[in-house]
Amino acid sequence: MLICHLTFNLSPSQVLKCHPAYRLSPLTPSLLHFTLQASISNMKSACLSLLLVSVCWALPFRQSGFMDFMMEDEPGSGSPMPPVFKPRTPTPPPVLPEGPDGHFCPFRCQCHLRVSQCSDLGLKNVPEKIPLDTTLLDLQNNKISEIRENDFKGLKGLQTLILVNNKITIIHAKAFSSLINLERLYLSKNLLKDVPANIPKSLQELRIHENQINKIKKSSFAGMANVIVMELGSNPLSSSGVDNGAFADLKRVSYIRIADTNITSIPKGLPSSLFELHLDGNKITKVTADSLKGLKNLSKLGLSHNEISVVENGSLANMPHLRELHLDNNMLTSVPSGLAEHKYIQVIYLHTNKIAAVGTEDFCPPGYNTKKAMYSGISLFSNPVPYWEVQPITFRCVFDRSAIQLGNYRKK
């Protein structure tokens, strides 16, 4: 039997058009009507049976979440329901394995990005197990009294070592032998009596001020050819305690500070590579013509707070590239000679001396526009000079009159 439409609302005429019995069997109208009714009834029964079978085969719907309504071609569709959360018993953290060398950050220290911070901990010794990749080790403000032979063993990458403000009296001769890349060594505010021996050749900066060093030997700086900065201030040094040629090994040094000591004269044999020399706060009484000989690269000279009463003729000529000179708080009675002839000097501090007069050619050469570098600062205050008598032409080579400081002298 041919079924044309899956519907129950077929009229007899529509059924006759598609039912083959209508065309093949010569039936009477009454018999035909009965046959059509039976056929329609059978069709309804068959369709209902098919519908019931399909419903029985379908699985029950279980909504596992909002994502069940995603399109089939979307990622994540049809995923099973998530499992019910069940709390688990917490497990202890795993034990981290030791590094290849077995070195961790020392107890109470902080280690991060190759910096080991062990300052202000009251340590009496250099701690053990310092990470071998450390490049900066800070041990300042502790109570370390001795640096032993193996304290820095294996720290080949260390570049900066800070030991400021401890109680160090002894440094083993081989304490720094492993530090082949050390560039900066800070030993200030300790109890050292000598410059440490066997400093790594890679060192560029040594700060050893505020110790108890009273002698700088000719061999004190042996092997320090790469040192650029040297700080030796606030030690009980005297002029007799500085050997001739003590600075000869400092081939590249550009900055030396020997301030607040007991030296009475400028040390001899200073390196010609110097750019800055600070000798403030000493007991120097005179600047001789040969005391600054050979300092052709010197740009800044600090001689403040000494007892200088004389600057010999020709002293400034030894420093042709000098730009800044500090002679304040001394005992000078006149402006040092040679300033007018100096081509590049720009800043001169002469305040708090005993200068009683200023001449028209003390600072500037004759004529105008003859000095290559104009003055940017001249201080003459706190001197007994009657500033109202100073001629304006005296400062003809000053860039700006506001750079001149006069007056405010009180007789003691």
Structural domain boundaries in the chain: 339-412
- Grade residue 53 by pLDDT with cuts at 50, 70 and 90: very low
pLDDT confidence bin for 97, thresholds 50/70/90: very low
**What is the share, in percent, of the chain residues with pLDDT greater than 70?**
73
The whole-chain average pLDDT of the chain stands at 82
Query: What is the model's pLDDT at position 95?
Result: 38
pLDDT attached to residue 24? 40
The mean-pLDDT minimum among 64-78, 166-180, 370-384, 394-408 falls in 64-78
Is the pLDDT reported for residue 312 higher than 50? yes
More confident residue, 171 or 58: 171
Q: Look at residue 401 in the predicted model and tell me its pLDDT.
A: 84
According to the model, what pLDDT value does residue 68 have? 40
Average pLDDT of the segment spanning 100-121: 86
Residue 387 has a pLDDT of 87
Task: Provide the pLDDT confidence category of residue 330 given band limits of 50, 70 and 90.
Answer: very high
Rounded to two decimals, the pTM is 0.74
**Whole-angstrom distance, CA of residue 114 vs CA of residue 18:** 92
What pLDDT is recorded for position 352?
96
Condensed to tens digits (0 to 9), the pLDDT of residues 204-232 reads 999 999 999 999 999 999 999 999 999 99
Least confident range of 77-81, 118-122, 180-184, 364-368: 77-81
Contact 124, 101 (CB under 8 A): no
Higher pLDDT, 411 or 332: 332
Whether residue 191 has pLDDT greater than 80: yes
For residue 6, pLDDT over 60 is answered with no
On the question of pLDDT at 66 being above 60, the answer is no
pLDDT at 31: 44
Residue 309 pLDDT: 97
**What pLDDT sits at residue 100?**
39
Q: What is the pLDDT of residue 21?
A: 43
Average confidence (pLDDT) over 51-78? 44
Mean pLDDT of 356-365: 93
| Residue 266: band (very low, low, confident or very high) from pLDDT cuts 50, 70, 90 | very high
The band of 188, judged by pLDDT with boundaries at 50, 70 and 90, is: very high
Range with the poorest average pLDDT among 8-17, 233-242, 258-267: 8-17
| Side chain identity at residue 371, one-letter code | K
Q: In which band, very low, low, confident or very high, does the pLDDT at 366 lie, cut at 50, 70 and 90?
A: confident
Return the pLDDT at 44.
61
pLDDT of residue 26: 46
Average confidence (pLDDT) over 27-52? 52
